[in-house]
Amino acid sequence: MRVETITTDIDKFIFKLDTQTQARVLRYIELLEKYGYKLEMPYSKSLRGNLFELRIMGNKQVRIIYCFHKDTIYLLNIFIKKANKIPKKEINLSVRRFKILA
C-alpha cells in the first residue's frame, strides 16, 4: 500500500528528529507500507474506529496516528509520547484530519 502524509508538518517533524530515531521511524513506516492491515502489535495498534497507532519504540516513544482510505495509508499525526495514554488533543487533531479525507 502507498503511504501519504496528510500535512507537511509530519514530514518536518520526522526530519527534525535525531538521526537514530528518524531512521527507526522511517523503517516502521516502510513496515506499514509493506504489511498494511496485517501489521500488528508491537508495531501497530487499533485506537478507535478507523484510527491506528504506529508505535515506534526507542529512546523516544514516537507515535504516528494513521488511517486507511481508498487503498492508501494516510499519516494523520505524529508526536513524542510522554505519558501512558495518548493525549486527547492528539486524538482530536487526528480525527479532524481524518474527516478531511471522508
Kindly report, residue by residue over 42-82, the tens digit of the pLDDT: 999 999 889 999 999 988 899 999 999 989 999 999 999 98
CA dihedral 69, 3, 75, 72 (to 10 degrees): 0
Nearest to 54 by CA among 77, 20, 70, 84: 77
Domains, the chain, with CATH or none: 2-101 (3.30.2310.20)
Query: What is the C-alpha separation between 57 and 88, in angstroms, rounded?
Result: 21
Give the pLDDT of residue 97.
94
pTM assigned to the model: 0.93
